Amino acid sequence: MKKIRNTHAKTEILNVINHSDIALSQPDIQKKLGDLCNRVTIYRVLERLENEGLIHKVVNIDGVVNFAKCSGKCSTEKHFHNHVHFNCKQCHSVTCIENVVPDISLPPGFTAQEYNFIVSGICPKCSKI
């Protein structure tokens, strides 16, 4: 079994993601970390964290890749993210909405194994502005 290293950068990146209510892009993470590590290191750590089942990718409606914490069901073998991602058109935040699962009806012969829903609109924070 391969030993999983726990570096300072990995710990800090995971802390940033775990303490965020929204999914974060690499530039968002880098801004929060300051000079701790460079862009390449952040991308490498994000890839490791995703492979370890600790975070997942969310692509917003603009094509920007964001990263969010995984629920307790994810593992190194499989991610379970069959939930809605809400993309705010005003502040561009991406929020995982865990307790909303759309009902999917596929034609005969199609079997859904996973899906990714992005709903766009205005988030509660921007609705109050």
In sequence order, what are the residues at sequence separation of 6 or more whose Cβ sits closer than 8 angstroms to the Cβ of residue 33? 9, 12, 13, 16, 42
Determine whether the annotation assigns residue 126 to a binding site.
yes
What integer is the mean pLDDT of 63-83?
74
Determine whether the annotation assigns residue 96 to a binding site.
no
pLDDT for the residue 104: 81
Q: Which is more confident, 73 or 27?
A: 27
The answer to the question of residue 1 being in a domain is no
Q: Which structure tokens are listed for 110?
A: 């199609």
19: enclosing H helix or E strand? none
Total count of domains within the chain: 1
Determine whether the annotation assigns residue 98 to a binding site.
yes
What integer is the mean pLDDT of 79-100?
82
Determine whether the annotation assigns residue 91 to a binding site.
yes
The answer to the question of residue 46 being in a domain is yes
The answer to the question of residue 3 being in a domain is no
pLDDT for the residue 84: 83
pLDDT at 24 > cutoff 60: yes
What integer is the mean pLDDT of 104-117?
84
Per the structure, the complete domain to which residue 87 belongs is given by 8-127
pLDDT at 93 > cutoff 50: yes
In sequence order, what are the residues at sequence separation of 6 or more whose Cβ sits closer than 8 angstroms to the Cβ of residue 13? 29, 33, 42, 45, 46, 49
The answer to the question of residue 106 being in a domain is yes
